[in-house]
């Protein structure tokens, strides 16, 4: 194991270029509401199902050209996603989950899963801090989106924010974790914009539960960072006041040129069908860094809902990633503050090195940081020394620096609300 280093954080503000057109997203809620918000209804069996919103209509037409020949995945979305009631979570004790029914595709019913800590288990101090924020004028909340071959298991992340009085909500995206159903291709999607369905639904659920004056910080990791940036850019979603990206997959490992040169190869594989497996294999170094069985601190790889052997790169999925990264390269117009956090070091190599325990062994941080300036006009870059690919899973010193940076940045840029420094220090020390 590498010798611990004291992490340092460097902040830099950059600006992007205004290029993209934006649109307002529609509201989707669980139940009929007297305030005029849409009521959640389940699609009728066998009946044609209209798009979720006007924005999805324009999205479909805009993205039609991205479809390639092969076994495309045809998704029929529910008119308005139906969100089930909260029930005890079967993964994390003391948590709750709610299933959102998005519609169906060629592989069956498409669902996502929302996860939160059971409010009844919150300590009194956390409840009082929630009340305090509301009494001062508005509530705060965190919305979390995971990355590839991932699901929500980060109990420490949820409990950190909850200890500050900030409700934390996570989503297992369709075909990941709690949302993966028998017969479905793990993690497969052909258009990253389609994740707007579960993102809109979770945003609306948060507003329903926390009130119209809630200010939401969207935190997203890796592939989730890429899809979240596209969602915020295309829909300019209401109540999302800041976007904090944890090692987002904004560009291919290497640089833009490698992505452009490899695109014809991916397209050639896709001629055999979108689900054609690409000859790319994960050497397992990142898993070695985080797994408690091999010197890490975490056990999420051991859970049955995370089958690393089943999550393999496929041609249609890879093309979706390329299309999303291409949008980033052409510049987005995200109009809320954006924070992009990365490790200070990339170690992409074919042999194991103990130094990988304090580096990003999955993505190229230089490519990420170069692409980050294309997100919008207000982008902050933060470097966490000794950070892993998922900065929240780093060794405690780097982990505390990461959470500290996100908290202070969000308080200033997104929430515009002072979070008592002693409470922040106490929460960081508990990580």
Who has greater pLDDT, 10 or 75?
Answer: 75
Q: How far is CA 193 from CA 66, 324, 332, in A?
A: 12, 8, 14
Nearest to 300 by CA among 121, 172, 399, 120: 172
Nearest to 219 by CA among 157, 131, 274: 157
> Any bridge partners for residue 112, and if so which?
100
pLDDT value at 45 more than 90: no
Who has greater pLDDT, 58 or 272?
Answer: 272
Find the mean pLDDT for residues 157-161.
96
Q: How many CB atoms lie within 10 A of CB 353?
A: 12
Name the residue with tokens 């020949």: 69
DSSP assignment of 208-268: HHH-TT-EEEEEEETHHHHHHHHHHHHH--TTEEEEEEES---S-SS-HHHHHHHHHHHHH
Q: For residue range 169-196, what is the model confidence (pLDDT) as tens digits?
A: 999 999 999 999 999 999 999 999 999 9
Q: What is the pLDDT at residue 152?
A: 95
Q: What is the dihedral of CA 167, 300, 295, 7, to 10 degrees?
A: -30
Q: What is the mean pLDDT of the chain?
A: 83
Alpha helices (H) in 15-123, listed in sequence order: 54-63
The listed CATH number (3.30.2000.20, 1.10.40.50, 3.40.50.1820, 3.30.420.40) that belongs to domain 9-429: 3.40.50.1820
Q: What is the pLDDT at residue 128?
A: 87
Q: How far is CA 2 from CA 237, 360, 386, 430, in A?
A: 42, 14, 10, 23
Instruction: With beta carbons less than 8 A apart as the criterion, state whether 375 and 418 touch.
Output: no
Which of the four pLDDT bands, split at 50, 70 and 90, describes residue 73?
confident
CA distance linking residue 217 with residue 229, whole number of Å: 13
Strand duo 379-384 + 215-221: pairing: unpaired
Q: How many CB atoms lie within 10 A of CB 224?
A: 27
CA distance linking residue 248 with residue 250, whole number of Å: 6
Question: What are the two backbone dihedrals, phi and then psi, of residue 305, each rounded to the nearest 5 degrees?
Answer: -75, 0
CA angle 73, 77, 79 (to 5 degrees): 170
Q: What is the pLDDT at residue 24?
A: 37
pLDDT value at 4 more than 50: no
The sign of the CA dihedral 282, 153, 381, 142 is positive
Q: For residue range 108-140, what is the model confidence (pLDDT) as tens digits?
A: 999 999 999 999 999 888 888 888 887 877 789
Proportion of the chain above pLDDT 90, given as a percent: 62
> Any bridge partners for residue 216, and if so which?
141, 240
pLDDT value at 64 more than 90: no
pLDDT value at 60 more than 50: no
Domain definitions of the chain by residue range: 9-429
Find the mean pLDDT for residues 147-161.
94
pLDDT value at 33 more than 50: no
CA distance linking residue 380 with residue 71, whole number of Å: 40
Segments of 7-125 assigned E as strands: 9-14, 76-83, 87-88, 95-105, 108-117
Q: Which of 50-64, 135-149, 389-403 has the lowest mean pLDDT?
A: 50-64
Q: For residue range 313-329, what is the model confidence (pLDDT) as tens digits?
A: 999 999 999 999 999 99
pLDDT value at 6 more than 80: no
């Amino acid at each position: 194991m590498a010798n611990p280093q004291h992490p340092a954080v460097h902040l830099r503000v950059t600006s992007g270029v205004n290029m993209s057109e934006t649109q307002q997203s529609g509201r989707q809620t669980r139940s009929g509401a007297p305030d005029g918000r849409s009521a959640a209804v389940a699609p009728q069996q066998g009946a044609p199902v209209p798009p979720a919103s006007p924005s999805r209509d324009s999205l479909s037409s805009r993205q039609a050209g991205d479809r390639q020949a092969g076994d495309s995945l045809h998704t029929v979305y529910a008119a308005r996603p139906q969100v089930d009631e909260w029930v005890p979570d079967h993964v994390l004790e003391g948590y709750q989950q709610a299933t959102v029914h998005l519609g169906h595709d060629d592989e069956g019913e498409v669902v996502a899963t929302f996860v939160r800590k059971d409010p009844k288990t919150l300590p009194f101090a956390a409840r009082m801090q929630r009340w305090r924020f509301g009494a001062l004028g508005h509530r705060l909340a965190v919305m979390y989106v995971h990355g590839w071959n991932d699901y929500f298991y980060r109990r420490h992340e949820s409990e950190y924010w909850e200890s500050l009085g900030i409700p934390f909500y996570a989503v297992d995206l369709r075909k990941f974790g709690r949302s993966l159903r028998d017969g479905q291709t793990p993690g497969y999607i052909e258009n990253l914009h389609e994740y707007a369905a579960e993102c809109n639904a979770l945003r609306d659920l948060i507003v329903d539960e926390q009130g119209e004056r809630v200010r939401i910080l969207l935190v997203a990791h890796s592939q989730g960072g890429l899809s979240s940036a596209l969602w915020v850019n295309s829909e300019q979603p209401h109540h999302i006041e800041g976007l904090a990206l944890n090692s987002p997959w904004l560009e291919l490992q290497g640089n833009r040129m490698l992505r452009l040169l490899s695109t014809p190869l991916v397209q050639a594989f896709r001629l055999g069908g979108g689900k054609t497996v690409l000859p790319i294999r994960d050497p397992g170094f990142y898993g070695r860094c985080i797994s408690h069985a091999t010197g890490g601190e975490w056990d999420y790889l051991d859970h049955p809902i995370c089958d690393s052997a089943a999550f393999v790169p496929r041609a249609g999925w890879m093309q979706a990633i390329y299309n999303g990264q291409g949008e980033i390269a052409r510049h987005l117009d995200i109009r809320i503050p954006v924070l992009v956090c990365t490790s200070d070091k990339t170690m992409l190599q074919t042999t194991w090195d103990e130094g990988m325990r304090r580096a990003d062994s999955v993505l190229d941080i230089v490519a990420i940081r170069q692409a980050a300036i294309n997100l919008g006009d207000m982008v902050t870059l933060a470097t966490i020394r000794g950070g892993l690919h998922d900065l929240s899973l780093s060794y405690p010193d780097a982990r505390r620096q990461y959470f500290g940076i996100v908290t202070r940045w969000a308080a200033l840029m997104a929430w515009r609300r002072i979070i008592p420094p002693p409470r922040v220090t106490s929460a960081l020390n508990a990580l």
